[in-house]
Amino acid sequence: MVEYFYTSIALIDINVHTSTSLTETEVDLNIFPDATELLQTYDGGVDVSCDLIFLRNGPIGSFSAGFDGSIDSDEEQDLVWAQTGRAKVVNRVNWCNGPPPGDARGCSGGVSIVVERAPSSIEGVLWAHEYGHHWGLWLPISGGHEDDSNRLGYEDIVSTARQVTLSECNIMRN
């Protein structure tokens, strides 16, 4: 049996908190190419080359939502979720349905993802990881984060976290 794969495109509209800086150039030339490359590159083990391309959908918008850009409570998290866009960028994610364990850099709710700015070496990993959460991957109800630091579903955002299984790829390409 021959399997035919087609390129899937993740069109992501972005809104940034007014206290946070993110340019279209940074997204288009760094973050989204890095997220795309890490998914499309076979890195050994259980990894597959996942044919998914991240693209920005329209200009980057902004929001203030009446808080300082650091999510520290359910109320502030709800303010961010209420903003338009599939992705929201804030100064700090200190709350994701409660205080997150460790050094969280993002959060995902069924409708969108929230990320903070991260070092360029891991920003593409962060966006791809949260995009996977957006589709239900690595959530507590589905078994939680991975223990292997080479897997994109690893609990921390690290540069080695690049591997996705065929099943995970298919879910993200939904």
Find the helix packing angle between 32-40 and 120-134, rounded to 10°. Answer: 70
Q: What is the pLDDT of residue 65?
A: 84
Query: With contact defined as beta carbons under 8 Å apart, do 63 and 18 qualify?
Result: yes
What is the mean pLDDT of each successive set of 10 residues along the chain, which is 174 residues long?
70 97 98 98 96 97 92 93 94 89 80 94 97 90 87 95 97 92
User: Nearest-CA neighbor of 17 among 96, 97, 71?
Assistant: 71
| 71 is a domain residue | yes
| pTM confidence score | 0.93
| 89 is a domain residue | yes
Number of structural domains found in the chain: 1
Beta-strand runs (E) in the chain: 8-12, 14-17, 52-56, 61-63, 70-71, 87-90, 92-93, 106-109, 112-116
| 99 is a domain residue | yes
| 1 is a domain residue | no
Domain that holds residue 152: 8-172
Read off the CATH number of the domain in which 45 is found.
3.40.390.10
